[in-house]
Structure 1
Amino acid sequence: MKTVSLREAQARLDELAQDVAQGETVTVTRDGKPVFDLVPHQDKPKRRIDFEAGQAYLRTKGISDPVSYIADDFDDPLPEDFLIQPLPAR
């Protein structure tokens, strides 16, 4: 890990960026105290639906065929207190 002052970081940003691109972390300081770190970029993992986990959960609830499953109360009327609630503010 490399430590540089803010003034030095401004003057050598291109060089520091190359170091960071190679995996090194650079701590930038002001008056000898750490202010921020330059770290290599990490792609966030894409969130995906885990269908296998969903099917496993439904099986624990006794639902063997989740594709054709419709809840017994699917078409029951909604409770009145639900219907009279105001819409959430945007």
Structure 2
Amino acid sequence: MKTVSIREAQDRLDELAQDVEQGETVTVTRDGKPVFDIVPHKKRGGIDWEAGQAYLRARGIANPVPYIADDFDDPLPEDFLLKPLPEK
């Protein structure tokens, strides 16, 4: 890990960026005290669907998605909400 002052970091930013690209962390200081680190960028990961399915299968859940009928999102009949409730 490399440590540089803010003034030095301003003057050598391109060189420090190359060091960070190689995986090194650079600590920038003010008056000898650490202020911030320049670190290599990490790609953000998404959801690992395969790992999630493997986790569920290991616990006996073969199909985590329940059955959804083909007509699930079809429009309801026009009189659906106008019908009286059934007698008890």
Distance 1:18 1:68, change over 3 A: closer
Following TM superposition, by how much is the alpha carbon of 1:18 offset from its aligned partner in structure 2, in angstroms? 0.6
**Structure 2 residue runs without a partner (length 5+):** 68-88
Following TM superposition, by how much is the alpha carbon of 1:46 offset from its aligned partner in structure 2, in angstroms? 2.4
Distance 1:32 1:66, change over 3 A: same
TM-score (norm 2): 0.61
In 1, distance between residues paired with 2:34 and 2:28? Answer: 6
Give the number of the structure whose alpha-carbon radius of gyration is greater.
2
Contact 2:56 2:64 in 1 (8 A): no
**Structure 1 residue runs without a partner (length 5+):** 71-90
Q: How many residues align?
A: 65
Following TM superposition, by how much is the alpha carbon of 1:36 offset from its aligned partner in structure 2, in angstroms? 0.6
In 2, distance between residues paired with 1:51 and 1:40? Answer: 31
1:55 to 50, 54, 57: 57
In 2, distance between residues paired with 1:66 and 1:22? Answer: 44
TM-score (norm 1): 0.60
